[in-house]
Amino acid sequence: MIHKSSIIAVLICLVLSGCSADTTGRVPTSDADIFVYSHMFTTRGGIVSSTTDGLPSVQASLSVQDLFYAAHDADYYVMAGARKNNVLTISKDGTWTQSFLLDNPRYTGVLAVELTDDAMIALMNGGVKNNVYTSLLVNQKIGDSAFSRCEVDIWAEALIVKDGVAYILGTTIHPRRYAAIITVDIEQNIVIQQQVFPYYSQFTRAVWRDGSVYAIAQKGTSHASILSRIDPDTLTITHTQATPDEYLDLVQVDGRLYAISERSIDAVDETLDIHDSTPLTLGIHPHEDGYIDAIDVFGHTLVITYRFDARQKGSPNTLYGYVIRVDLPSGVERSRTPILLPASTDNVVQHIHVVPREFFE
């Protein structure tokens, strides 16, 4: 999945202490979406259960900060802080729990997170060590303080976990900015291999499909995307396709791969040729200019979180954008639900995660 409009510009993160104990609650999971909001500079966050029209119905305050990254499987939806180590986990019955990676709030935040076998696999912020940027790969069971960890020399942008192996894609950052891939045995906590690609500056997104890693790469300062197919055993690139578009994410539905930009949904075959491009309509009116903040897939439904450049303040609620649902492979828009939050929270809303109703079905 994609998460979020990138604002990370520092290498050493702000380390702040968190609350003294985990906090647990429950939010209704009726046929509507749940919105979780947070801010980089305050721990005043919240969780809101909406109606089918997007109107806030039930709200609870959370002591969370900078929840920037998210991942889910069939049972859990987790959000993790970028500049602060804090995790919010929501289960299918609506129960939510606040916790910390490494069972210690004094550690830094994360660069990427995934779920596998009831465990969180997370890349935690590190720093320059021996002239190389080093992060920490953490394997921690959900609801358990037990964890294992392994140092990896990469700034992560994408994380895939498959058959006990973590595929970490990103960039070397220091001393040169090159695209890189590292594989780690998450049971043995050892690095399997690493590959650096000097002709790319970074990998931004990745997905596993039919025994291969498919990734979006960028070159230099260009925003144009280079689609890449990577052999997971050798970490060599077997196919590439340069495109004029800036793709935001890769998803697959029924074994078919789609590349998503803010203009279109493009079907991609095994050789990275693009077929069946479907135009994507986001903002309808001039005052609804904005950006795609997150992309998710549930069954045949593409769930897009679309945020306005400028929120539309109101009373009693403020409009931040829409949850747009698109059918795949037809590309037909199914619904557009407003993202509404109480106006009283305006000063503490920066990041908004949408936990869609499909997750609770």
The structure tokens 């045949």 sit at 300
Report the percent of the chain where pLDDT is more than 70: 94
Q: Which residue has the higher pLDDT, 229 or 176?
A: 229
d(CA 183, CA 190): 9
Per-residue model confidence as pLDDT tens digits over 32-51: 899 999 999 999 999 999 88
Q: Which residues contact 163 (CB under 8 A, 6 or more apart)?
A: none
Q: How many CA atoms lie within 13 A of 313 on its CB side?
A: 6
Confidence of residue 23 (pLDDT cuts 50, 70, 90): confident
Q: Which residue has the higher pLDDT, 132 or 84?
A: 84
* Distance from chain centroid for Cα 253: 18
Topology of the domain covering 2-258 = Methylamine Dehydrogenase; Chain H (2.130.10)
The structure tokens 């049971």 sit at 187
Is the model's pLDDT at 286 over the cut of 90?
no
Instruction: Specify the pLDDT at position 165.
Output: 97
Is the model's pLDDT at 13 over the cut of 80?
no
Domain ranges in the chain? 2-258
Residue among 64, 119, 65, 122 at smallest CA distance from 96: 64
Per-residue model confidence as pLDDT tens digits over 84-131: 999 999 999 999 999 999 988 888 899 999 999 889 999 998 887 777
Instruction: Specify the pLDDT at position 6.
Output: 39
Instruction: Specify the pLDDT at position 2.
Output: 52
